[in-house]
Amino acid sequence: MPTTIPPRDADGCHHPTTEAELAALVRHARAAGAQLRVMGSTHSVWKAIVTDSFDGPATPQNELTVVLDHYVQIAEPKADPAHPGTKLVEVQAGCHLGLSPQRPVQGRIDPGGSSGTDELAPAPWHDGEWEQSLTWQLHEKWKLALCDLGGISHQTVAGFISTGSAGGTTKWSVHAAIEALRVIDGEGNVHELRESGPDADWFRAAGVGMGLCGVISTVTFRCEPTFDITGSETISAANKSDVLDFYGDRGNANLPNLERFLLENDYVRIMWWPQFDFDRLVVWQASRAEYDPETKLIPYKEIASFPVLSQVAASMLLTVLGNLKDPERAIAQLKSIRQHPQVVANSGDLQSKLRLATTGDTDDDLPSEERHLHPWLDAIAARLSRDPITSGAAWIPLIEFLVTGADDLIIAAMTLPILRPLFRKLAEMVPTRIDSILGVFVGAGKDGASVTQYFQDRSFLGLPMDNQMDDLLMPTWFTELWIPFTPGDGKVQAVIDTMRRLFAADGTAEGAYEETGFYSYELYAAKADPTFFLSPATGHEDVFRVDVFWFAHSAGNPQKLFKKFWDALEPFGYRAHWGKFLPTPPNPAKLLARYPDFDRWKAVRARVDPGNVFLTQYWRENLGL
């Protein structure tokens, strides 16, 4: 008897519970000439995930969106005779690597919104407890671990591998730990694929296939005994780091250059804040350690000593910085922050703790009545005219007011003629004062000397160091460029030199700020991936990764910023992370020429999806299909 397809839910999505139901949905789509896409944790660019016209309950009937929140089981581990000491673990595709992003709304990575919607929309993911996650169960039930994890572990298993994601190491690769895939083709037939099997090309195409070479039903990972990590994070001026010679010009034989540092350490992540007269590095590094159930865990702290409140403060600050030319938009964005559950929960003491977390105690009394509002804003404007923007001088009280003030006062502020000149003054002063603004959150020692935080944790808790960041408080969009290099070829340093010249601009604070903006840039490496055709690390060379960040509460189009780096780093022959922003306008021929096996991937795709069930306009444009 044919399997009945699960009905479309009120969210506009189908939520199958078995592989048979998942295959039945594909067969239904094929017979109806419909499109079908599977939605994971929505950590990728929105249009890369969904069908052409997805709009929740209003989605056309000839488009099917599948959410696998009820398809999350993990099979009992089995011995792997070919790799003694490891175990093979089959995982259903909807299982999250770590804690799923449980919330009533999701942040869509989509400038301007898709189908006229806002970037915030109801989340289709209905379930997902920490105890259901792959990494928790591997550790707690069987004392097993994956060899590597990305900076976050919110993603579903299939979503993580399908886009070519990786952690910050050149020593291990999750892709190399994939033993088998169960994949449903465009006719609704289920196949088990292995690199050593009869259809190795399909395995190599589907692993990083963006859902275009079939629906991944299960993934079998080769897992190893669980392990701990121990490490440190240093914050310093870029030319005063005590762990590496970032610019390669210090002549200290005891300090590795950036390339060596990436290759020699087990796990590395670097945040570069290249702003004029600031130029700081946050260097996170970790080594494997033997698992010890008795060890005292010292978790890594990503933002200061008040993780929630510091994120609120950082979110407020970056929101104002990103909207200085549009005060009304800044206030509208800040209103959404005011409604965040963490802000509401801490509303009673947010103001005092915010000041402690950011500036220390100040004597500014925020206005509590409308009659005090205009004089208070006038005083702030006067201080900005005569004082440098320093911690606690003027901008923190303003931000505090915009977030903690009563709604009627915020509405009143928007009507005052002083508001726009006040924001204009802030905009004029930020480029020359950006060091004191950012220094509140990225604090080095005296004269830029290193300050160090040490940590020790379980691998599955410590490697995803960005899990602490709230996607709604700190929404970050980015393009991620993967540049192949070989040891000693100088390419890593040449990339840094190129970016440094771009950031220097005309040598003025204003010119530099125009290029750097107010956010950081992330630097990683990843191990070569000789297995999957469209992996950004495909081939036999390790890759250096440059992430260009955009704070999503900012006004404007992130692609304008990203294009500077797409152009500047073009000579290095980068490949792009498929789930992040891809170069625009699309130039498939140029990008895909860097994937030697693209034609083999394309041939597999045409063979396994003859009806183009999985193909959307977004992927037609970006892959030339």
Quote the pLDDT of residue 114.
47
Does 117 have pLDDT greater than 50? no
**What is the reported pTM?**
0.92
The secondary element (H helix, E strand) that includes residue 67 is strand 63-67
Does 419 have pLDDT greater than 90? no
Does 343 have pLDDT greater than 70? no
Query: Per residue in 476-527, pLDDT tens?
Result: 999 999 999 999 999 999 999 999 999 999 999 999 999 999 999 999 999 9
What would the mean pLDDT of 259-285 be, rounded to a whole number? 97
Domain(s) labelled CATH 3.30.465.10 in the chain stretch across 19-226+595-623
Name the H helices within 124-270: 134-142, 157-162, 200-206, 258-264
Does 461 have pLDDT greater than 50? yes
Domain(s) labelled CATH 3.30.70.2520 in the chain stretch across 228-303+445-590
Query: Per residue in 368-403, pLDDT tens?
Result: 888 888 888 888 877 776 655 443 356 667 766 776
Task: Tell me what the pLDDT averaged over the chain comes to.
Answer: 88
Calculate what percentage of the chain has a pLDDT beyond 90. 65
Q: Is 68 exposed, middle or buried, given 0-12, 13-18 or 19+ CB atoms closer than 10 A?
A: buried
Does 30 have pLDDT greater than 80? yes
The secondary element (H helix, E strand) that includes residue 382 is helix 370-386
Q: Is 341 exposed, middle or buried, given 0-12, 13-18 or 19+ CB atoms closer than 10 A?
A: exposed
Domain 19-226+595-623 has CATH 3.40.50.300: no
Q: Angle at CA 153, nearest 5°, toward 151 and 154?
A: 125
405-419 exposure pattern, b = at least 16 Cβ within 10 A, e = fewer: beeebbebbeeeebb
Does 353 have pLDDT greater than 60? no
The secondary element (H helix, E strand) that includes residue 502 is helix 491-504
Does 105 have pLDDT greater than 70? no
Helix (H/G/I), strand (E/B), else coil: 302: coil
Query: Per residue in 287-305, pLDDT tens?
Result: 999 999 999 999 998 765 4
Query: Per residue in 591-600, pLDDT tens?
Result: 999 999 999 9
Quote the pLDDT of residue 22.
97
φ, ψ (nearest 5 deg) of residue 260: -60, -40
What would the mean pLDDT of 254-258 be, rounded to a whole number? 95
Do 222 and 88 contact (CB within 8 A), yes or no? Answer: yes
What would the mean pLDDT of 325-334 be, rounded to a whole number? 85
The secondary element (H helix, E strand) that includes residue 92 is strand 87-92
Do 525 and 263 contact (CB within 8 A), yes or no? Answer: yes
Q: Determine the straight-line distance between the first and last CA of the chain, rounded to whole angstroms.
A: 36
Model confidence at 46, in pLDDT bands (50, 70, 90)? very high
Model confidence at 248, in pLDDT bands (50, 70, 90)? very high
Calculate what percentage of the chain has a pLDDT beyond 70. 89
Torsion over CA of 537, 541, 546 and 552, rounded to 10 degrees? 0
Beta strands per DSSP E along 463-520: 476-485
List Cβ<8 Å contacts ≥24 apart for 14-20: 14/64, 14/65, 14/66, 14/67, 15/66, 15/67, 15/68, 15/69, 15/70, 15/126, 16/66, 16/68, 16/70, 16/71, 17/70, 17/71, 18/71, 19/71, 19/92, 19/182, 19/184, 19/190, 19/217, 19/218
Query: Per residue in 146-180, pLDDT tens?
Result: 999 999 888 999 999 999 999 999 999 999 999 99
Quote the pLDDT of residue 390.
43
Q: What is the DSSP string of 385-423?
A: HHS---TTTSHHHHHHHHHHS-HHHHHHHHH-TTHHHHH
Does 536 have pLDDT greater than 50? yes
Contacts of 275 (CB under 8 A, 6+ apart): 434, 435, 438, 512, 513, 516, 518
Does 463 have pLDDT greater than 90? yes
Query: Per residue in 184-237, pLDDT tens?
Result: 999 999 999 999 999 999 999 999 999 999 999 999 999 999 999 999 999 999
What is the fold, at CATH topology level, of the domain defined by 228-303+445-590?
A: Alpha-Beta Plaits (3.30.70)
